[in-house]
Chains A and B, each alone.
Chain A
Amino acid sequence: MVSSVLFVIGMNMEEVVLNSGDTAWMLMSAGLVTLMIPGIALFYGGMVRVKSVLNMMMMSFGALAVVFTLWIIFGFSMVFGDSVGGNGYIGDVTEFLFLKGLDNSGALIGTIPAAVFIAFQGVFAAITVALISGSIADRAKFGAWMVFAGIWATLVYFPVAHWVFAFDDFVAETGGWIANDLGAIDFAGGTAVHINAGAAGLAVAIVLGKRVGFGRSPMRPHNLPLVMLGAALLWFGWFGFNAGSAVASNGTAGLALLNTIGATAAAVLAWLVVEKVRDGHATSLGAASGVVAGLVAITPACAAVTASGALIIGVVAGVLCAMSVGLKFRFGFDDSLDVVAVHLVGGIVGTIMIGFVGVEVGLFNGGGTDQLVKQATGVVAVLAYSFIMTLIIAKVIDLVMGFRISKDDEISGIDLVVHAERGYELTDNTQGSVSGASKGA
């Protein structure tokens, strides 16, 4: 309702007007976060075998298509609508159904057009879903994935984003419990995005089971330059994700941007050192993975730590994530592209480290253990909710429509079987003929 947006004006007892500097930065941030979709698609796409590259990239594109559509219909309202019953668990789905009152050029949220804020936050939701796809490479039915994306966003992301991102009196009068009642710090989504996606990735990988040949056949990345390009696009896009989460063009955005570079640089170094010591080689896949681990870890903390704090978070994330990538072989779950090791572990590191190195609130900065306990509570709540809900959602989809392609199709390659395409045509030698008129015209 427009009334709740106007409510902000009433609360501040001063007229809130559009700030063109804030608006310009948030328009750009919305563009930057959208660039993270091809970033994820390339990062994941290069890591799978040549027979699955298109399906891997399609899962990211598909997530954006499904989730942003739902976002306009009811997602935004579930996240930023007035908290139902005032208990901070879920926003009122009817308040902004089909964005009523907000999808015009006059409505404001904060100092920026409502449309810009909605677009920015909507792509966040899509990115979170896209991240999950890395755990089920090579083997998920595309239709089942699209259904999963919609149901997961509705039952898991929208509630959790309400808990974490809906501050009281910003869009609606009452927001989510983690942001307001608990007071855990999560600036841009260490819990709501990364722990959420990481725990979901683990659950859905468990439901789908291992790929044919997991742990025996080599499953080497087919195109590491794509992986590195994807990681670099993610890094660039993440400036919008983190610094854009200030929802303003100000010093907070600037600090977030600086820390987003610093922590990531430190994480790359740390990951490469672990590799050099453990495996004898510093690899390009390790560097690209270190980029994402650092970005994930600094996401919740980017406005809550100094530049040195960011370096510490980056190093801890780089080391712990690099050491976690072997866990899937030890425990026997096929988290194909290490969503757990990078996003779950990285998200936990960043969220918990605020309790240690957060400015004023951190244990090392004289803040005691108060904030640390709040951070840990946020981690456990989101991890448990996401994992359990995802197990149920994935299992139900598997029972109703089947989540996995057949063993034969998986061996033949999901691109050809599911999408009727191949990623690469490297010679002109392919034999064949046109077998039917185009149905497109």
Chain B
Amino acid sequence: MKLITAILKPFKLDDVKDALQAAGITGMTVSEASGFGRQRGHTEVYRGAEYTVDLVPKVRLEVLVDDKDANSVVDVIVKAASTGSIGDGKVWTTPVDQVVRVRTGEKGPDAI
């Protein structure tokens, strides 16, 4: 099994969610995140005082998938999240040893 983690522009979340659901993905976890890559931050002005804000708001999306689906799901996310401009985010996968569904106790791919 694989954990797919995607850092997205917040306004692309709906597109990615819809695309994943269309691809048969039935569950995901979304959290607010902030950070920077090449996009860097921005400047804010309060009563003439300028503040440089380094961290840009992002959305972190996590999906658990079976090994055989990992590449195609990554492709779905990348396609749906892309705007072609800097700051579109990143997607990566990590191996997962075990998954248990809390309600039923099912383990492994059955729990996904």
Contacts and interface: CB of A to CB of B under 8 A. Distances in A.
Contact of A221 (B46, B48, B50, B53): B46
Contact of B51 (A220, A280, A283): A220
Interface string B44-70: 111111110100000000000000000
Contacts of B47: 285-286, 289, 325, 338
Interface residues of B, number: 9
Contacts, number: 28
Contacts of A280: 45
B73 to A, nearest CB: 28
A10 interface: no
Contacts of A221: 46
Nearest to A322: B48
Contacts of A281: 45
A121 to B, nearest CB: 32
B51 to A, nearest CB: 4
B49 A285 contact: no
A289 B49 CA distance: 14
Interface residues of A, number: 17
A283 B46 CA distance: 8
A46 B45 CA distance: 16
B50 A279 contact: yes
Contacts of B45: 275, 279-281, 283
A375 B90 CA distance: 65
A110 to B, nearest CB: 41
A329 B46 contact: no
Most chain A beta carbons < 10 A, residue from B45, B47, B49, B50: B47
A253 B47 CA distance: 33
Interface of A: 218, 220-221, 275, 278-281, 283, 285-286, 289, 322, 325-326, 329, 338
Given A218-B53, A322-B48, 20 more contacts: A218-B51, A220-B44, A220-B46, A220-B51, A275-B48, A278-B48, A279-B48, A279-B50, A280-B45, A281-B45, A283-B45, A285-B46, A285-B47, A289-B47, A325-B47, A325-B48, A326-B48, A326-B49, A329-B49, A338-B47
23 contacts: A218-B51, A218-B53, A220-B44, A220-B46, A220-B51, A221-B46, A275-B45, A278-B48, A279-B45, A279-B48, A279-B50, A280-B45, A281-B45, A283-B45, A283-B46, A285-B46, A285-B47, A322-B48, A325-B47, A325-B48, A325-B49, A326-B48, A326-B49
